[in-house]
Amino acid sequence: MRRRRPLSLRRFLLLGILLPVGLFVLVNAVSLHRQTLEAVNTAYDRTLLASAKSIGELLDVKGFDQAAELRVTVPYAALEAFEADNQSRMFYRVSAPDGTVVSGFSELPFWRGRLPDRSTYAALVDFYDDRFRGEPVRVAVLLQPVAAQDGRGMAVIQVAETLELRQTLTRKILTDTLWRQAVLVAVIALIAVVVVQRATRPVRRLSGELQARAEGDLTPIAAPVRPANCCRWWMPPTM
Cα 62 to Cα 98, 101, 106, 144: the distances in Å are: 17, 16, 22, 15
**pLDDT tens-digit map of 165-211:** 888 888 888 888 888 888 888 888 888 888 877 777 777 677 776 67
The predicted structure's pLDDT at residue 160: 92
**β strands within 133-231, DSSP E:** 135-148, 151-162
Helix or strand holding residue 129 (H, E): strand 125-132
Residues 170 and 130: their CA atoms lie apart, in Å, by 19
Paired strand residues for 79: none
**pLDDT tens-digit map of 65-92:** 677 788 877 766 666 655 555 567 888 8
Pairing of strands 151-162, 135-148: antiparallel
